[in-house]
Amino acid sequence: MLHHTTPVSRLFFGRDDAEHDMADGLLGGAFLDTYAYREALSGRKSLIIGRKGAGKSAICRQLGTTGGYSGTAVLITPDDAAGDEIRRFELQGVSGDTAKSLIWRYVFAVHAARYLCEHARVAHGWRARSAVRALRDFLEANDESGEERLYDRLRRGARGLQSANLALKAFGIEAGLELNGASEGARASRQLEVLESGVATAFGDLGCAAAHPPLLFLVDQLEQVWTMDPDSHALVTGLLLAAKQVTGRYGSAVRCTLFIRADIYDTLNFGDADKFHSDELRISWSAGELENLALTRAAASLKTAELTAEQLWGDMFPTAVRGEPTLEYLCRRALPRPRDMIQFLNACRDAADQRGNQRITEEDVSLATEQFSRWKLTDLAREYAVTHPFLSQLFLLFDNHGYVVMLPALETRFEPHRERLHQEFADYADGLTVRGVIDVLFSIGFLGVKRGQKVVYSDGAQTPPQLDEEEFHVHPCFRPALGGLGPMELTAYSPRGNFAISGGSHQLQIQAGRDISLGVSRDSRLLDDVTRACERLLRQLMRAGLQDDTRNEVEAQIGRVLDDTRRAREDLRGGTVVDVTRHVLSASGYFGRLAVQLGDHGIRDEPITRRLEDEARVLIRSAGGAVGGGGGSDSSP
């Protein structure tokens, strides 16, 4: 069992991306056998969708290892050059989606042909069947027999398909195709049919579908070649169409599994989109799965066969942070995806190691929380820089405000920025309305919406905010970076505060140090008025329909007024000179300001807001004697 003084420097939760995890050797020993992985491995799901950092590439890389998929896997990851080649590829007579699907089909067919030539030699002996010899001849005639970059393969394929000059003699086609007058698209499609028919024949002659697992194509990192232009849409849409075509054309001998970021997939709009629903799987992570991730990776780094939750969250980490179990604390303040959890855990470890601690302390986690929040706010803007380039400007609407925002308050904040945003991001102006901003910020997980007694954050399946929903919350992940640690930017009560007191048609400004001498009995009665006002407000607050964090914050501030009033009474009884009038008017001014701030957040019709205004007015009259000093006569609950 690990001792509580185990050096924290031995602890490591892995790299931020699957490629480096694989290179370090950690991923193989710490990969989680998740539901998404099992569905991809079995072939039941071929379209794996997830946000950045959700673990798509980890699944892809695991499928490509010998310990993952039991058959042969071919990994295809287009780079900028390959992406440009596909985006530029056009064919007269067919749509952009169809043209892109043809070039993708060519890539898959050539990869399959190369695989069959090697597979036939290794698995079926040196005497190649005629169908395999035809594929070998085709590859040599079209300069596809050597190891080449994807870009080179695309370039050759594009040239051959556009000019209809693929060398097809190996399949009995001597020169060109007799399609006089046909469009480029029709000629290219016919060439592909000949090539794909030759590949399918070879699979059939070798009996591959029954003899071994299918050839698996894995396509990942499409975000590297994605922009918001129509050609990028066609690039991805064409890939989807090609993958379905290839699976149908080669039967159970070939499978295609695609890994696509959710923000890309959700922008696609094409006629056959409804045919892919059964293939889709959106990656989601529960708190339990994230804990398993942490345990597995910690154990791998510590080179221990087994690490219990009690050891990780008791010996290595503190059991609780700010009164909240550590795992719950971390999960609430990170978006539910592996990369966020890995980065947060490593930040905690680094904070402890830099400070020379032998274990991670609560203070280390608090320091890491601040840093992690700043990372994630910046990362969120970068993640959606292509689809929502205005995000960093929208975040300013929440800077140094409370994390609860009502619709009227957001409308007030947005209005001064509307014209500038519309000018700077003219292409997005139609969506840059308050409701449009809410929809975007909800969809990316920045804002949650209050529904019933819960705050709901988007997980890809949640209904967008409705017109009658007006209370929104910044996700806990981003609050420290924005300075919004409290639910609202409520002014903290201070008895030395210089408050402007509203009293009907006039205002009274209380100056610090003002000396007013009053009789003891009157002083005591005035302090009683403040005490009873606080108690009535607290009772009203218990019935208020406020969000829990907001209620707690208001309750804490009213409690400060009450505590200060009780201290003033004790001082008075002890013979200390107390400026009671100033104290009463400060309490009154604070209640008035609190009511204004709640109103600014859209909490105008709530009884607690009106009660704060009423109590503020009553205390003013009490201090001024306007009603015979009977300001505490209001006995309503």
Q: Tell me the pLDDT tens digit for each residue of 490-533.
A: 778 877 654 444 433 333 333 333 334 444 468 888 999 999 99
Same domain, 145 and 249: yes
Please say if the pLDDT value at position 380 is more than 60: yes
Same domain, 265 and 331: no
DSSP H helical ranges for 601-637: 607-624
* Look-up of token digits 């040599």: 140
Same domain, 39 and 177: yes
Cβ atoms of 487 and 547 within 8 Å: the answer is: yes
Same domain, 100 and 14: no
| Residue at a domain's end among 482, 508, 541 | 482
> Can you give the pLDDT at residue 162?
87
CATH number for the domain that contains residue 13 = 1.10.8
Lowest mean pLDDT among 5-14, 17-26, 247-256: 17-26
Q: State how far the alpha carbon of 203 is from the alpha carbons of 132, 197, 408, in Å.
A: 9, 10, 64
pLDDT band at 145 (very low <50, low <70, confident <90, very high): confident
> Can you give the pLDDT at residue 627?
36
| Domains of the chain: total | 4
Same domain, 13 and 61: no
> Can you give the pLDDT at residue 507?
38
pLDDT tens readout for residues 295-321: 988 988 888 777 899 999 998 999 999
Please say if the pLDDT value at position 535 is more than 90: yes
Which contiguous run of DSSP H or E holds residue 2?
none
Higher pLDDT, 181 or 409: 409
Examine residue 493 and state whether it is found in any structural domain, yes or no.
no
Please say if the pLDDT value at position 114 is more than 90: yes
Cβ atoms of 229 and 186 within 8 Å: the answer is: no
Q: State how far the alpha carbon of 173 is from the alpha carbons of 113, 190, 198, 201, in Å.
A: 18, 12, 12, 16
Could you give the angle at the alpha carbon of 209 between the alpha carbons of 203 and 211, nearest 5°?
105
| Residue at a domain's end among 383, 416, 435 | 383
| Residue at a domain's end among 330, 358, 383 | 383
Examine residue 164 and state whether it is found in any structural domain, yes or no.
yes
Examine residue 492 and state whether it is found in any structural domain, yes or no.
no
pTM summary value: 0.77
pLDDT band at 6 (very low <50, low <70, confident <90, very high): low
> Can you give the pLDDT at residue 390?
96
Task: Give 3-state DSSP helix, strand, coil % of the chain, rounded to 5.
Answer: 60, 10, 35
Cβ atoms of 364 and 330 within 8 Å: the answer is: no
Higher pLDDT, 485 or 389: 389
Same domain, 273 and 293: no
Please say if the pLDDT value at position 164 is more than 50: yes
Examine residue 488 and state whether it is found in any structural domain, yes or no.
no
How many whole angstroms separate alpha carbon 544 and alpha carbon 239? 54
Same domain, 278 and 193: yes
Question: What 8-state DSSP symbol labels residue 311?
Answer: I
Task: Return phi, psi of residue 473, to 5°.
Answer: -130, 130
Same domain, 207 and 342: no
Residue range of the domain that includes 365: 8-19+286-383
Q: Give me the amino acid identity at 326.
A: T
CATH number for the domain that contains residue 507 = 1.20.1440
Mean pLDDT of the chain: 85
Q: Give me the amino acid identity at 291.
A: E
Same domain, 125 and 227: yes
pLDDT tens readout for residues 307-359: 899 999 998 999 999 999 999 999 999 999 999 999 999 999 999 999 988 89
pLDDT band at 20 (very low <50, low <70, confident <90, very high): low
Q: Tell me which residue of 457, 440, 460 sits closest to 449, measured CA to CA.
A: 457
Q: Is 129 helix (H, G, I), strand (E, B) or coil?
A: coil
> Can you give the pLDDT at residue 209?
80
- Kindly calculate the radius of gyration of the chain based on its CA atoms and give it in whole angstroms: 34
Roughly what angle, to the nearest 10 degrees, separates helices 338-354 and 362-383? Answer: 140
Cβ atoms of 5 and 360 within 8 Å: the answer is: no
Residues 6+ apart with CB under 8 A from 508: 501, 585, 620
